[in-house]
Each structure stands twice: as structure tokens, then as C-alpha cells.
Amino acid sequence: MPWDVKCLSDENVVLVKVVGEHAISDISKMSVDPIALADGLGTTKFIVDLSEGAPMLSTVDVYRMPELLKEIGFKRHSKVALLHSATGKDARTFDFMETVFSNQGMAFRSFGNLEDALQWLK
């Protein structure tokens, strides 16, 4: 489960590209560099690109994610756009994640393309 972190400087957005399967235990490891980069840039906007990734998350894992991210330094007022290519049941998982994050007062949306994600982050 490799990942890459970079800044989209024109947009002041941190992009995290994840490839392959990953579990809730991987999220802490994957989040350290993006959070540090965002802090250094003074941004709270993130895109997590899972278009080539496969999250292996249970319902309980999804419920735990907002608290886990806050514990590792993710700011509550951050905005996260999640890119995915999922359909059917898998797409509903991302819709469920939106609801869970929203219920915790966090801005989180899933998108099928980068342009829509960037527009929402503005």
C-alpha cells in the first residue's frame, strides 16, 4: 500500500495519492506527512486520491476515523475531498463516510473527479 504526498501549489491543497489496499491501522501512518506538509504551508485543504486504492474498512472503522484523525493532528476545520472510482456498494461506503464526518462537524466529501473536488475546496 504505497502512498505519495505533494502540494498542489496553485490551489494550496495537499494531495495524498494512495495505491492498493489499506486498513484503518494504515491511516495513522499515511496521515503524518500530509498533516505536517499542510501545517508548514498553512493550509487545511486536502485531497485523498483513492482512485487506485482500496480501503478495507469496517463500519466500526469508518465511525472511528474522524476521532483517529483528530488524535493524530488533523484540524477539525480542515476540508477533505476524497477521490474514488467506486460504484455500487463501494460508492455507498464513501457516502456513508461523508455522513459520519459531517456528524462530527468535519468537512468531508467524496468525488469522482479532481475538478469537482478542487471546486468544492475553494
- What would the pLDDT profile of 56-108 be if each residue is shown by its tens digit? 889 999 999 999 998 988 888 999 999 998 776 678 888 899 999 999 999 99
CATH number assigned to the domain comprising residue 63: 3.30.750.24
Report the pLDDT value the prediction gives residue 122, as an integer from 0 to 100. 92
Cell 472510482, residue? 85
Report the pLDDT value the prediction gives residue 55, as an integer from 0 to 100. 86
Report the pLDDT value the prediction gives residue 8, as an integer from 0 to 100. 95
Report the pLDDT value the prediction gives residue 88, as an integer from 0 to 100. 66
Q: Is 106 left (phi over 0), alpha (psi -120 to 50) or beta?
A: beta
Number of domains in the chain: 1
C-alpha cell, 80: 477533505
- Domain holding 54, by residue range, is 3-121
Summarised one tens digit per residue, pLDDT across range 11-26 is 999 999 999 998 988 9
CA distance 23 to 25: 5
Contacts of 14 (CB under 8 A, 6+ apart): 5, 6, 7, 8, 34, 37, 38, 41, 43, 45, 46, 47
Report the pLDDT value the prediction gives residue 41, as an integer from 0 to 100. 94
Report the pLDDT value the prediction gives residue 103, as an integer from 0 to 100. 94
Q: Is the pLDDT assigned to residue 1 strictly greater than 70?
A: no
Contacts of 27 (CB under 8 A, 6+ apart): 65, 68, 69
Question: Which one-letter amino acid corresponds to residue 1?
Answer: M
